[in-house]
Structures are given as structure tokens and as C-alpha cells.
Amino acid sequence: MLHVDLNRLQREGRARIDAEVGPGDAFWRDAELKPHSPLEVRLEAQQAGPDVVVRGQLRGQFELSCRRCLEPVVGGIDEEVGLLYRAGTEVGEDEPADVLPLPRVGSLDLADPLRELVLLAVPKYVYCREGCKGLCPGCGTNLNEAVCRCTSEDVDDRWAPLRQLKVDE
């Protein structure tokens, strides 16, 4: 599905890769990420002299959690793809991350580089709402939903002896 046949690409000059990678696909197996909808892959591979260029768009939605209160939040990506498969380079050569070695024969497997792009693009910090109040550091209550019984005195006990002094005077 995410393969480009190099023979055919050489013959035809370009190839479309249109795919929807479902949430249950093996693509996600080792990625610590929960897709909320299929990942839309819209790419075109193009022969560029001896090299191959893959360009297009990745779109998808993921189940994330609010950074403050940990409630589930759906966050999306809409990422431009630009990969260069360079002829004559070997795996492990010191190249930028989007420059990959072009195999001499067979096919390109786009799964790994695409998964890497997705992992980099998924937002790290998402919030369930503007001004999410988060969880009470004392008891863990979700302060968006309820008021807890912790008072600021309970949470910050450093001043208790001082208050005691004042009462004694």
C-alpha cells in the first residue's frame, strides 16, 4: 500500500500513492500513538534524474490527552511531505533525515519514513479547552468539573507554624 515499484516508476516517470491507513493497521504497531481516524496519505513519487522525490500531504487525527487535566483530546496533523531518495548513498551515511538511500532495485517502502514524520508532527502539548484548570495537586480532582475540599492552607503547609504563632499571641 505504501510501496512504490521502482521499475514502474522508471518507466512512467511518476506514481501516485493514495492510501488510507486505518487505526488497526500494522503501520501503527510500534508507534505509541492512538489514531482516531484513518491517516490520509496523498503522495506523488517522481523520478528526478537518478533520484526519486516523494511529495505530498499527510492528514490524520489522534487521541491525545490534555496536558493539564489528562482528559482525552483529539488532535490532528496536516503535514507536508518531502522526501528525497538519493541514488548511490548507503544506509547510515551522514545525510539529513529527509534524504534516504535509493535502493537499486525493487520498491520503496514509505512506511518507516512516513511514520517518523507523523510522530514528529503530532502536537506534544494539547489542552482540552482554553484555560483548563487542570487537576488539584492535593487530591487529583479535575477542577474543571468539581471544586474539591482542599484549601490553599492544606496544600501549602509551610505557613502553618506562623499562623499558630499569631493565634497564641
By the criterion CB under 5 A, which residues form the site for Zn ion?
66, 68-69, 128, 132, 136, 138-139, 141, 148, 150
Q: Least Å distance between CB 156 and Zn ion?
A: 12
In the complex with Zn ion, the residue whose CB is nearer, 75 or 138, is 138
CA 79 – CA 57 distance, rounded (Å): 6
Are 47 and 10 contacting, i.e. CB atoms less than 8 angstroms apart? yes
In the complex with Zn ion, the residue whose CB is nearer, 66 or 100, is 66
Residue position matching grid coordinates 518507466? 11
CA 82 – CA 43 distance, rounded (Å): 9
In the complex with Zn ion, the residue whose CB is nearer, 11 or 129, is 129
In the complex with Zn ion, the residue whose CB is nearer, 121 or 148, is 148
Q: Least Å distance between CB 164 and Zn ion?
A: 23
Residue position matching grid coordinates 499569631? 166
In the complex with Zn ion, the residue whose CB is nearer, 118 or 122, is 122
Q: Least Å distance between CB 158 and Zn ion?
A: 18
In angstroms, how far apart are the furthest CA atoms of the chain?
94
| DSSP class of 59 | E
Q: What phi and psi, each to the nearest 5 degrees, are found at residue 7?
A: -60, -50
Are 90 and 75 contacting, i.e. CB atoms less than 8 angstroms apart? no
Are 13 and 44 contacting, i.e. CB atoms less than 8 angstroms apart? no
Q: Least Å distance between CB 6 and Zn ion?
A: 47
Q: Least Å distance between CB 130 and Zn ion?
A: 10
